Amino acid sequence: MSVLPILRWPDERLATSCDPVGEDDLRGLVRDMFDTLYAANGRGLAAPQVGVMRRLFVMDCGWKDGEATPEVFADPVITVREKKLSVMDEGCLSIPGLSVPVERPVAVTLAWRDEMGDMHMRDFDGFEARCIQHEIDHLDGIVTLDRVDAEMRAELLAEYARA
Ligand code: ZN
């Protein structure tokens, strides 16, 4: 078991786009990312948050409610975005203590590969859809603070500085 250090915003790497995973075997990294996710009491963790600049994230939206659902997403692509949007407060392991209201589509269709290289495509809604969009933002060098207007961002930055 290896718990990796999680980068904190505004680390430059959190503002950097990641490279495709391709055919690389990242199973060791995936194990460490789950160890890190659970140790940090989170539900989603993207590779750039542990300094690995690849298009990969892990998610488990059920473990806190007693039903673990660990899933690995390599080279994920959102193929359909629901037109209906909603706003929800989002936390981020790289921006500890800050809750940011972000507007996103309520459902998405996602294509991805797992850690064995098998292709998947599935519809997600609710908390999972939100988590997936949050983690894919990380792969594109985007954090929650980039998704709010200037006034809200200034308010949140002041709150983050105080924390
Ligand atoms: Zn995050």
Give per-residue pLDDT as tens, 127-152. Answer: 999 999 999 999 999 999 999 999 99
Pick from 8, 15, 14, 10: nearest CA to 40: 8
Task: Report whether pLDDT(6) > 90.
Answer: yes
CA of 53 to the centre of ligand 1 (A): 14
Second CATH level (architecture) for the domain 12-162: Alpha-Beta Complex (3.90)
Q: Does 104 or 23 have the greater pLDDT score? A: 104
CA of 138 to the centre of ligand 1 (A): 7
Rounded CA-CA distance 113/139 in Å is: 15
Average pLDDT, the chain: 97
Task: Report whether pLDDT(1) > 80.
Answer: no
CA of 66 to the centre of ligand 1 (A): 22
Which structure tokens are listed for 44? 């989603």
Helix (H, G, I), strand (E, B) or coil at 127: helix
**Run of H or E residues at 151:** helix 150-162
Residues near ion ligand 1 (Cβ under 5 Å): 92
Task: Report whether pLDDT(2) > 80.
Answer: yes
Which structure tokens are listed for 157? 């930055």
Residue ranges covered by each domain of the chain: 12-162
Task: Give the pLDDT of residue 152.
Answer: 97
Burial 12-38 (b: 16+ CB within 10 A, else e): eebeeebeebeeeebeebbebbbebbb
Q: Give me the active site residues, please.
A: 135
End-to-end CA gap in the chain: 30
Percent share of the chain, pLDDT over 70: 100
Task: Give the pLDDT of residue 36.
Answer: 98
pLDDT digits (tens, 9 = 90+) for 45-78: 999 999 999 999 999 999 999 999 999 999 999 9
CA of 14 to the centre of ligand 1 (A): 9
CA of 135 to the centre of ligand 1 (A): 6
CA of 93 to the centre of ligand 1 (A): 6
Query: Cα 53 from chain centroid?
Result: 13
